[in-house]
Structure 1
């Protein structure tokens, strides 16, 4: 990276970190930090299901997860009418999702939500059910993994990387991933600056409206995601946390596979 660009990037990261620290000194920010601290090891020793949003997720009997610790992301709420429960935590880290889904996400009051602080302008004030983390999107070396979300979280190429950091912070000792098809049909002729403006029903996710007509999504970089997953696997195993992949089919082979039904 040219020196000027590198200095500009580092300057931008520093400004973002300083803004978060300044906000953390406000009454709203202090309450946010207290609530983040209260989450540390809240589910110590329990297992956690991290749900992807691939179509294979619907091949699982998700109602068997009632009472489990569950972390979901983005527009997962589009299938909540099929569930007998509300998942434990919802995350969003992608700016496009935050912008396009802001109105609906703000109305979700029955679930704890965890977002990067730089999305606050889209997703609203922190509250008892909405927490913000200091989120570093550009860092070197890439990727880096944090188990202390009250201090800092890292971007890792996919929202699931944030979710794995969150599961570790919650104290979960086994993380089970489901719905990670890890494969996308991408309309290459519609990509502009790595962004796709959807013109048709979504075939890559759990609902046709997930990234349906009018919604924007980033061109998925599967190779970069795998780099993130490899990092998460190393760091979690070093902490004594087991990560399993119970996805029905799919192409993610970083984590040891187990049949979904064998978990119950």
Structure 2
């Protein structure tokens, strides 16, 4: 039985698709609770069954769908006009985004759907979604995990000690896999500049077997095996809101960027039930030569490193400034090749510290220990431990 998700706003699209749909096993129309009357009308007109989806697969009302288990086809259709996501770092380009359909995708995925076809008036996207974050909940309950940053301190420790450990890495961590003799089993990316400007590099460089957590809004844009799409609200729009009310992803419904992918990794490790969570390679220090804003040099070499968030909000906005890797005044990552001929959004250290401290508070409230084993780290939000003492 194929699931076909419909909604009131795009009822005309659903009616046209149902009119022209090929014969065979009749689909089951599904919808959100608010759209139940429209779905019921479409089902009656076309002689189909319909069902209302809860907003998450772990809601008690999801039990009503239990009879569908084992009957649902691997392919589902989502009939909805996507929103327009304007690329921040690719001028004039857009990406269709079906973020508002993620709750329905979660429920249909729990019922057995793995191939999704998203249909709008112009866009037609077919993607495989083999895994969602729901499937990783408590996967490593009570086990130690290492959240590995990409700082230069990794040059000074024996990375071989992490072989066999639960490791979560990010961004260009794959540049170290050859020297370290291992690939991290888990990896994530959240930086819009990195995704939009260097997509091909990530697609070519990533280890195929690694589980890759990527923003759901880039569904169909990044093409790598073993992707796990998760909504990660963009800091371009939500930056100041995260500062006034930091958040921590406690359910598989959403993760929060919080100005650094490292915090995304901490949330994933916590979701997996890992305890303790050990940070390594999180130097939190960036000897950046200059920041350019809208193509012009900023008088302050790196205003994002120390200016209070309230003042920084008035001076610069995410997405409009960057720093050049070739102009760094010292090592910024575990290999110089990481930054050669690349540009980056400046690290929001003053902003991320607010969210790191919230991570610590969340961990203490939930019995999850987060410690920092980075030699020489400048991040004081977590208790520090000696890396060598852990082995």
Indicate how the Cα distance of structure 1 residues 229 and 190 shifts in structure 2: closer, same or farther if over 3 A, else same: same
Q: What CA RMSD, in Å, does the superposition of the two structures yield over aligned residues?
A: 2.5
Say if 2:356 and 2:381, in contact at 8 Å, map to a contact too.
Answer: yes
1:9 corresponds in structure 2 to none
2:297 corresponds in structure 1 to none
Q: Give unmatched runs, 5+ long, in structure 2.
A: 1-84, 86-96, 117-126, 295-319
Tell me the alpha carbon deviations over residues 6-51 of structure 1, each in whole angstroms, 9 at most, x when there is no partner. Answer: xxxxxx9xx8641534665574359738542221111111010001
In structure 1, C-alpha distance between the alignment counterparts of 2:185 and 2:166, rounded to whole Å: 6
2:324 equivalent to 1:221: no
Alignment of 1:140-219 (within 5 A): 141-148=244-251, 150-188=252-290, 190-192=292-294, 193-200=320-327, 203-213=331-341, 215-219=342-346
Deviation at 1:189, TM superposition (A): 5.1
In structure 2, C-alpha distance between the alignment counterparts of 1:187 and 1:57, rounded to whole Å: 22
Tell me the alpha carbon deviations over residues 120-178 of structure 1, each in whole angstroms, 9 at most, x when there is no partner. Answer: 343127x5x11100112324543210122x21111211101101100001110100001
Q: Give the alignment's TM-score, normalised by structure 2.
A: 0.58
Among 109, 112, 116, which residue is 2:211 paired with? Answer: 112
Say if 2:150 and 2:281, in contact at 8 Å, map to a contact too.
Answer: yes
1:77 corresponds in structure 2 to 174
2:358 equivalent to 1:231: yes
2:158 corresponds in structure 1 to 61
2:50 corresponds in structure 1 to none
1:40 corresponds in structure 2 to 137
Say if 1:46 and 1:172, in contact at 8 Å, map to a contact too.
Answer: yes
In structure 2, C-alpha distance between the alignment counterparts of 1:152 and 1:112, rounded to whole Å: 17
Indicate how the Cα distance of structure 1 residues 92 and 189 shifts in structure 2: closer, same or farther if over 3 A, else same: closer
Deviation at 1:188, TM superposition (A): 2.4
In structure 1, C-alpha distance between the alignment counterparts of 2:157 and 2:219, rounded to whole Å: 33
Say if 1:198 and 1:216, in contact at 8 Å, map to a contact too.
Answer: yes
Say if 2:146 and 2:277, in contact at 8 Å, map to a contact too.
Answer: yes
Indicate how the Cα distance of structure 1 residues 216 and 23 shifts in structure 2: closer, same or farther if over 3 A, else same: farther
In structure 2, C-alpha distance between the alignment counterparts of 1:189 and 1:235, rounded to whole Å: 33
Say if 1:95 and 1:119, in contact at 8 Å, map to a contact too.
Answer: no
Structure 1 counterpart SS, 2:201: helix
In structure 2, C-alpha distance between the alignment counterparts of 1:32 and 1:144, rounded to whole Å: 26
Q: Give unmatched runs, 5+ long, in structure 1.
A: 1-11
In structure 2, C-alpha distance between the alignment counterparts of 1:33 and 1:82, rounded to whole Å: 30
Indicate how the Cα distance of structure 1 residues 252 and 113 shifts in structure 2: closer, same or farther if over 3 A, else same: same
Larger Rg: 2
Larger relative contact order (CA 8 Å, sep ≥ 6): 1
